[in-house]
Structure 1
Amino acid sequence: MAEFEDSDSLLEATKEAYAAGYRKIDAYSPMPIHGLAEALGFSRPLLPLLVLIGGIVGACAGYGLQYYTSVIDYPINVGGRPLHSWPAFIPVTFEMTILFAGFAAVFGMLALNGLPMPYHPVFNVESFKRATRDRFFLCIEATDEQFDLNQTRAFLEEQKPFEVSEVEE
């Protein structure tokens, strides 16, 4: 893991790492850095699709539940009105759409981000405590296909960081 003093150095090092073939890399910064997500190789997020699917499932479930109870399971003829009156089903269908889309957003975000994760090996590096204040970190994981301890350390040192640390499990 390399520690940098400014965001521009982190961004350049991240671009160099991605260009060198490293794919399992992560950057830690006390503030958002424009262009860092692209430098890390992030692709289009999956969460909007999960929310859309959750909303569609919720709408179908809400409408289906009302249809089943009003038409099939317990039909009551009130004043000659039709059993399948779709305008009466709209409020519950809308609410179920919002509910299921919200659940899909929350649980999808947790799953896609690998949360909850109360512990991460980078917390073992003493200087990482400054990641939320004034330091910028680039971490190349040992599970990366290109990773070799000596070569990766030499590569990180070429980026002129403030410090290079090895992350212990």
Structure 2
Amino acid sequence: MSATLYGLIAEFRTGDALLEAARRARDEGYCAVEAYAPYPVEGIAEAVGFPRQRVPLFALLGGIVGAAGGYFLQWYSAVIDYPINVGGRPLHSWPSFIPSTFELAILGAALAAVFGMLFANGLPRLYHPIFNAPDFEQATRHRFFLCLPIHDPHFHETRSRDFLQSLQPMSVSEVPA
């Protein structure tokens, strides 16, 4: 295998052809299949074996941390650090802490979701070898691409090229690293 090769890429005319090609690639044994399309293709995530994201878990944890931090901050300032008897209410008057606690839970969840999404997607990524593929700029307009990267354990340069040719794409080309 060439050290200057990222993988092989096949270009398809329709989203259905890309979906069928991705399913066949997974059935063939490829586990690191990458698909690129100008718009969402229904079922492509399952076809390429896209893992479930943990962004909802990040958002839940961010909400819990935000709520706990907001409540603790209010409790500490009202009960421990600077206790003031206002209108005879108890120092730990939890109902008055609820609005700020709720808002900080929402803020924490939103920030954790945004940063979790960026982390899960490997962003910001300023360079990816796929951008060097021939005609890849068409992926944002009207072409669909399926890439078999070299780091896939099932990848073999000649067998993978023959497999991609058997899918009847418009073209098959190498992606330089």
Which TM-score bucket, shorter chain as reference? Answer: over 0.9
Paired residue for 1:63?
Answer: 71
Q: Select which of 55, 58, 77 maps to 1:50.
A: 58
| Structure 1 residue identity aligned to 2:141 | R
**1:36-115 alignment, distance < 5 Å:** 36-115=44-123
Q: Is the 8 A contact 2:53 2:120 kept in 1?
A: no
1:62-86 alpha-carbon deviations (Å, 9 max, x no partner): 0011111111111112232100011
**In 1, Cα distance between equivalents of 2:88 and 2:40:** 61
Secondary structure of 1:166 counterpart? strand
Secondary structure of 1:138 counterpart? strand
| Structure 2 residue identity aligned to 1:20 | E
Q: Structure 1 residue 35 and structure 2 residue 43: aligned? A: yes
Q: Select which of 151, 155, 171 maps to 1:147.
A: 155
| Number of residue pairs matched by the alignment | 169
Paired residue for 2:29?
Answer: 21
| Structure 1 residue identity aligned to 2:50 | F
* Higher strand residue share: 2
**In 2, Cα distance between equivalents of 1:13 and 1:6:** 11
Q: How far off its partner does 1:89 sit?
A: 0.3
**In 1, Cα distance between equivalents of 2:66 and 2:122:** 25
TM-score (norm 1): 0.96
Q: How far off its partner does 1:45 sit?
A: 2.1
Unaligned runs of 5+ in 1: none
**In 2, Cα distance between equivalents of 1:34 and 1:122:** 22
| Structure 1 residue identity aligned to 2:61 | I
Paired residue for 1:159?
Answer: 167
Q: Structure 1 residue 120 and structure 2 residue 128: aligned? A: yes
**In 2, Cα distance between equivalents of 1:54 and 1:26:** 30
Unaligned runs of 5+ in 2: 1-8
1:70-126 alpha-carbon deviations (Å, 9 max, x no partner): 111111122321000111101110111011111101100100001111211111113
**In 1, Cα distance between equivalents of 2:155 and 2:148:** 8
Q: Is the 8 A contact 2:134 2:173 kept in 1?
A: no
1:115-140 alpha-carbon deviations (Å, 9 max, x no partner): 11121111111310101111100011
| Structure 1 residue identity aligned to 2:10 | A
TM-score (norm 2): 0.92
| Structure 2 residue identity aligned to 1:19 | D
Structure 1 vs Structure 2 CA RMSD: 1.0
Percent identity between the two aligned chains? 57
